[in-house]
Chains A and B, each alone.
Chain A
Amino acid sequence: MISSVLENIQGIEIYYIIGLLLFVVFFVVILIRTLRMPSKEAEHIKNSILNDNEIMTPSNK
């Protein structure tokens, strides 16, 4: 009598599909945007963090 409870709930898949679509669109946008970013710029950013030691403090100038 109770065994049918585990069955799907009508129409609920729509959330699932919308969600997946959102993700795919979002992912593609991010991917394209990122790949089109100039590599030089990326290089610059990732190197910049290594320099923070170099800020001269009065004591180790």
Chain B
Amino acid sequence: MEDQKVIYDNKTVKLFILATLVWGIVGVLVGVVIALQLRFPAFNFGLEFTTFGRVRPVHTNAIIFAFVGNAIFAGVYYSMQRLLKTRMFSDLLSKFHFWTWQLIIVLAAVTLLLGFTTSKEYAELEWPIDILIALVWIAFGVNMIGTTVIRRVQHIYAAIWWYIATFVGVAILHVVNSFELPISLFKSYSLYSGAQDAVVQWWYGHNAVAFFLTTPFLGLMYYYLPKAAERPIYSYKLSIIHFWSLIFLYMWAGPHHLLYQALPDWAQALGVTFSIMLIAPSWGGMINGLLTLRGAWDKVRDKAELKFLVVAVTAYGMSTFEGPMMSIKFVNQLTHFTDWTIGHVHIAGMAWNGGIVFGMLYWLVPKLFRTKLYSEKLANAHFWIATLGILIYAIPLYWSAVTQWLMLREYTPEGFLAYPNFLETLTQILPMYTFRILGGTMFMIGFLLMVFNLAKTMKAGSMVAQEEAYAPVLVELGARDPKKEGMHRFLERKSVRFSIVAFIVLAIGGAVEIIPMTFVKSNVPTIEAVKPYTPLELAGRDIYVSEGCYNCHSQMVRPFRWETDRYGEYSKIGEFVYDHPFQWGSRRTGPDLARAGVVGGPMYKNAAWHYNHFMDPQKMNEQSIMPKYSWLAEKDIDLDIIPVKIRAMQKLGVPYPDGFDKIAVDDLKKQASGIVADLKASGITADPNKQIIAMIAYMHKLGRDISTPAVNDSTNMATAKVVVETLPTTPADLNSGKEIFGKLCASCHGPEGKGQATFPNLTDDVWIHGGTPTDVVNTITNGYPVKGMLPFKSQLSDQQIKQVASFILNSLKK
């Protein structure tokens, strides 16, 4: 048969490789920076643009979309042309794809640091960028499916099904999760609210892992692993079966991110079941990958690229076993909100995604530049340092998760939380964060070695940008002959049809998960007491979103005793109906804030405390790792946009009265001056127009509507007063009092009890509420919640309260 000339486009592949290397370094470096921030808050640099809450999304987006994304495209553009024996469908689309993708990355980094964010994890980018992403994605899809249409081979090899599933999957996810109502060029509100928003987001979040970090990588594995090992994939039949079951099952599993949270039971059960079923197809992929190497293990010993691929596939197997285990409700108690998840994603990200990318690059770059790898030794060094780095990164985090979880749920024999102060549990695990910095740095050094090695390789070789090859013309087979051709082979021949079937399979899972949630909305018994946010609270909420506080704080109390004792009443689905977007969070680096506004609850702090805390968290709690937010007291609330926000919320179904937008600014000013007066009473002069006022208003809104208003102050106290004649004064008692004081009281009254800011000195003779043992014990027991003194009766036993009172009156006063 006549051979036709094919000219492969290597230039686009090279560009994507270069972008992978550049963004990879950036992403890993930013990762090391945020690891430093979590250990040493000084690395937040006191600037709003560099606080953890804003930089963390830069890290995740840079790794996922910039590093991994460009690597996928490099791998796809190279392998597709060879597999289908044709040039990519359109040069123009290839060019558009490459350059617009890079533009998106730059825009993403800039806007995230400026605080423009939707707060939906891995989908933080605001609506104009979302539109750009959609355009690029369409270009990629058309280019790819177009290439399958003009191919010169009969069948479409397994790798390409995965590429197509990636395209279809991400397209569905991106569109469904990005429904938002723009209110300005860089701000929008999610169309979904509360629980519904959470389900859509985590359906997205979970499947972004599936269709950006799994399917394309399985595709790359099906091509680059056989190529590098020079032997065919173990079982082609297994690849068909695990392909369809994997893409079918993944779409259903999202709710495993929301176990024990304010979500209907059926949705949680759905997520758990499908997550566990996912083990099977995932392990199908791992087994297929590992068995491909049977009899070739000697090659693995010599070649760094194979080593990386083996570790990658093994890590894939581990992570896809760990993931389903983490979806079991009991295990999820531990893994959710703790560092376990961080360990899990880094095993998967660094070893599986990183491993495939590194393995691919070590094989591909010499191939593309028609030369040998500059240094096999350096590549092996990279392998060992990276693998070790990953272990040093992940193991301490698993340790930290277990430690913190055990501490959080430990009770004293008297039935009180053993560690009522959240910060204590955090301080305990900080040393683990030092290991994380080390592990991350090692991984980065390995990465740099690779960049050097590949740069040298590129320099030594020469790439033919337009590579010529010859391939026979494809003969059209026409209609299917059922006797000769199996159904799947037939589907493979018809790539467009194949894509449509893949779409349907994916859409079913999505629909089953999302559609019932629309019913949930009408089925949620609205909680009468829950009121829409006031304009000031709404402004504060938007600042909370833009500062990325959700990266460290959850707003979701799960129904466990050790959570309700620590934070307050557990969260109800009906509380969130006005939340666009939801702010449940996924990691508790700091304490949960869902009950921060419940006066008399364990989390309540008065305005003065919040003011001082935002200005300088380390002043209030020396060991805190929360960044300073002092500019909140300098930046003005944007008043012009308030009416626009109110109107947008009305459109989304929030029941503000008609014409409320016109009086919203007045309402805001009135509430702000109330807070300013409150601060004034504590001796703090603040300007009502500043963002910090809005933030305090928002903090005090959290959980307030479903709590019973606190009965105020002394009148009530007087009737409940317990008379205390003597206080325990043995050295053991005083010591234990001292310890409690350091943990629970010092953050307000200062380490020596001398008071600070507006919090009273307990060592002088001036008493607001009386200095007798009876007075002091009662103050500590019941508190003066509205004035900012917490009631400790739910956190300390009577004996402990007496000990700390004794410590104040006997030891501090001297």
- Interface, chain A (partner B; CB < 8 A): 2-9, 12-13, 15-16, 18-20, 22-23, 26-27, 30-31, 33-39, 41-43, 45-50, 52, 55-59
Query: Knowing A12-B519, A22-B508 touch, does A59 contact B464 (C-beta < 8 A)?
Result: yes
Say yes or no: A46 contacts B516, CB within 8 Å: no
Q: Which residue from A12, A16, A30, A52 sits with its C-beta under 8 Å from B241?
A: A30
Q: Which residue from A9, A55, A58 sits with its C-beta under 8 Å from B471?
A: A55
Query: Knowing A9-B519, A34-B241 touch, does A49 contact B706 (C-beta < 8 A)?
Result: no
CA distance A48 to B488 in the complex (A): 17
Closest chain A residue to B222, Cβ basis: A49
Interface pairs (13), CB distance under 8 Å: A2-B706, A3-B572, A5-B262, A5-B573, A6-B572, A9-B516, A15-B512, A23-B249, A27-B248, A34-B486, A41-B489, A46-B233, A49-B159
What is the CB-to-nearest-CB distance from A27 to chain B, in angstroms, rounded to a whole number? Answer: 6
Contacts of B179 on A, CB cut-off 8 Å?
Answer: none
CA distance A55 to B231 in the complex (A): 17
Q: Lowest 6 A-B CB distances belong to which pairs? A: A42-B236, A46-B232, A19-B512, A55-B469, A52-B82, A46-B236
What is the CB-to-nearest-CB distance from A10 to chain B, in angstroms, rounded to a whole number? Answer: 8
Residue B771 lies at the interface, judged by CB distance under 8 Å to chain A: no
Q: Which of B385-393, B443-451, B522-530 contacts its partner? A: B522-530
* Contact code string B513-524 (vs A, CB < 8 Å = 1, else 0): 001100110011
Say yes or no: B262 contacts A6, CB within 8 Å: yes
Closest chain B residue to A1, Cβ basis: B527
What is the CB-to-nearest-CB distance from B251 to chain A, in angstroms, rounded to a whole number? Answer: 10
Contacts of A15 on B, CB cut-off 8 Å?
Answer: 512, 515-516
CA distance A57 to B241 in the complex (A): 36
Say yes or no: A37 contacts B515, CB within 8 Å: no
CA distance A42 to B159 in the complex (A): 14
Q: Which residue from A19, A20, A49, A57 sits with its C-beta under 8 Å from B468?
A: A57
Say yes or no: A37 contacts B248, CB within 8 Å: no
Q: Which residue from B157, B236, B237, B245 sits with its C-beta under 8 Å from A27?
A: B245
What is the CB-to-nearest-CB distance from B575 to chain A, in angstroms, rounded to a whole number? Answer: 8
Contacts of A7 on B, CB cut-off 8 Å?
Answer: 264-265
Residue B480 lies at the interface, judged by CB distance under 8 Å to chain A: no
What is the CB-to-nearest-CB distance from B739 to chain A, in angstroms, rounded to a whole number? Answer: 37
Contacts of A38 on B, CB cut-off 8 Å?
Answer: 486
| Size category, B interface | 35 or more
CA distance A13 to B77 in the complex (A): 43
Say yes or no: A9 contacts B523, CB within 8 Å: yes
Residue B270 lies at the interface, judged by CB distance under 8 Å to chain A: yes
Residue B622 lies at the interface, judged by CB distance under 8 Å to chain A: no
CA distance A34 to B136 in the complex (A): 35
Q: Which residue from A31, A39, A49, A55 sits with its C-beta under 8 Å from B226?
A: A49
CA distance A20 to B509 in the complex (A): 10
Say yes or no: B488 contacts A19, CB within 8 Å: no
CA distance A32 to B790 in the complex (A): 66
CA distance A48 to B508 in the complex (A): 34
Closest chain B residue to A11, Cβ basis: B519
Say yes or no: A30 contacts B240, CB within 8 Å: yes
Contacts of A49 on B, CB cut-off 8 Å?
Answer: 82-83, 157, 159, 223, 226-227, 232
| Beyond A9-B519, A34-B237, 11 extra complex contacts between A and B, CB < 8 Å | A15-B515, A20-B273, A26-B244, A26-B248, A30-B241, A34-B486, A37-B240, A46-B226, A48-B155, A49-B159, A55-B471
Closest chain B residue to A4, Cβ basis: B525
Contacts of B231 on A, CB cut-off 8 Å?
Answer: 50
CA distance A41 to B487 in the complex (A): 13
Closest chain B residue to A27, Cβ basis: B245
Query: Knowing A26-B505, A34-B241, A52-B85 touch, does A57 contact B270 (C-beta < 8 A)?
Result: no
Say yes or no: A8 contacts B515, CB within 8 Å: no
CA distance A35 to B471 in the complex (A): 31
Residues facing A in B228-274 (CB within 8 A) are 230-233, 235-237, 240-241, 244-245, 248-249, 252, 262, 264-266, 269-270, 273
Query: Knowing A49-B223, A49-B232, A55-B470 touch, does A19 contact B520 (C-beta < 8 A)?
Result: no
Say yes or no: A2 contacts B527, CB within 8 Å: yes
Residue B146 lies at the interface, judged by CB distance under 8 Å to chain A: no
What is the CB-to-nearest-CB distance from B312 to chain A, in angstroms, rounded to a whole number? Answer: 19
Closest chain A residue to B492, Cβ basis: A45
CA distance A53 to B489 in the complex (A): 24
Residues facing A in B484-514 (CB within 8 A) are 486-489, 505, 508-509, 512
Query: Knowing A34-B488, A55-B469 touch, does A45 contact B155 (C-beta < 8 A)?
Result: yes
Contacts of B83 on A, CB cut-off 8 Å?
Answer: 49, 52
Query: Knowing A34-B237, A50-B227 touch, does A6 contact B508 (C-beta < 8 A)?
Result: no
What is the CB-to-nearest-CB distance from A11 to chain B, in angstroms, rounded to a whole number? Answer: 9
Closest chain A residue to B292, Cβ basis: A46
Say yes or no: A12 contacts B157, CB within 8 Å: no
CA distance A59 to B232 in the complex (A): 27
Query: Knowing A42-B236, A42-B237, A52-B82 touch, does A9 contact B266 (C-beta < 8 A)?
Result: yes
Chain B CB within 10 Å — which of A4, A35, A42, A50 has the most? A42
Query: Knowing A2-B572, A9-B264, A9-B266 touch, does A31 contact B241 (C-beta < 8 A)?
Result: yes
Closest chain A residue to B524, Cβ basis: A5
What is the CB-to-nearest-CB distance from B503 to chain A, in angstroms, rounded to a whole number? Answer: 14
Residue B141 lies at the interface, judged by CB distance under 8 Å to chain A: no
What is the CB-to-nearest-CB distance from B531 to chain A, in angstroms, rounded to a whole number? Answer: 15
Say yes or no: A6 contacts B516, CB within 8 Å: no
Say yes or no: A16 contacts B266, CB within 8 Å: yes
What is the CB-to-nearest-CB distance from A54 to chain B, in angstroms, rounded to a whole number? Answer: 10
Residue B590 lies at the interface, judged by CB distance under 8 Å to chain A: no
CA distance A13 to B157 in the complex (A): 38
Residue B574 lies at the interface, judged by CB distance under 8 Å to chain A: yes
Closest chain B residue to A2, Cβ basis: B572
Say yes or no: A19 contacts B264, CB within 8 Å: no
Residue B153 lies at the interface, judged by CB distance under 8 Å to chain A: yes
Say yes or no: A56 contacts B264, CB within 8 Å: no
Say yes or no: B489 contacts A37, CB within 8 Å: yes
Contacts of B226 on A, CB cut-off 8 Å?
Answer: 46, 49-50
What is the CB-to-nearest-CB distance from B4 to chain A, in angstroms, rounded to a whole number? Answer: 11
Say yes or no: B157 contacts A45, CB within 8 Å: yes
Closest chain B residue to A22, Cβ basis: B508
Residue B798 lies at the interface, judged by CB distance under 8 Å to chain A: no
CA distance A3 to B141 in the complex (A): 47
Closest chain B residue to A55, Cβ basis: B469
Residues facing A in B552-583 (CB within 8 A) are 559, 572-574
CA distance A5 to B526 in the complex (A): 9
Say yes or no: B237 contacts A8, CB within 8 Å: no
Say yes or no: A56 contacts B470, CB within 8 Å: yes
CA distance A23 to B469 in the complex (A): 43
What is the CB-to-nearest-CB distance from B259 to chain A, in angstroms, rounded to a whole number? Answer: 12
What is the CB-to-nearest-CB distance from A1 to chain B, in angstroms, rounded to a whole number? Answer: 8
Q: Which residue from B235, B264, B486, B573 sits with its C-beta under 8 Å from A12?
A: B264
CA distance A23 to B6 in the complex (A): 41
Contacts of B273 on A, CB cut-off 8 Å?
Answer: 20
Say yes or no: A34 contacts B706, CB within 8 Å: no
Contacts of B159 on A, CB cut-off 8 Å?
Answer: 49
CA distance A6 to B337 in the complex (A): 21
Residue B764 lies at the interface, judged by CB distance under 8 Å to chain A: no
Q: Which residue from B6, B236, B508, B527 sits with its C-beta under 8 Å from A19?
A: B508
Say yes or no: A33 contacts B527, CB within 8 Å: no
Say yes or no: A33 contacts B82, CB within 8 Å: no
CA distance A57 to B469 in the complex (A): 5
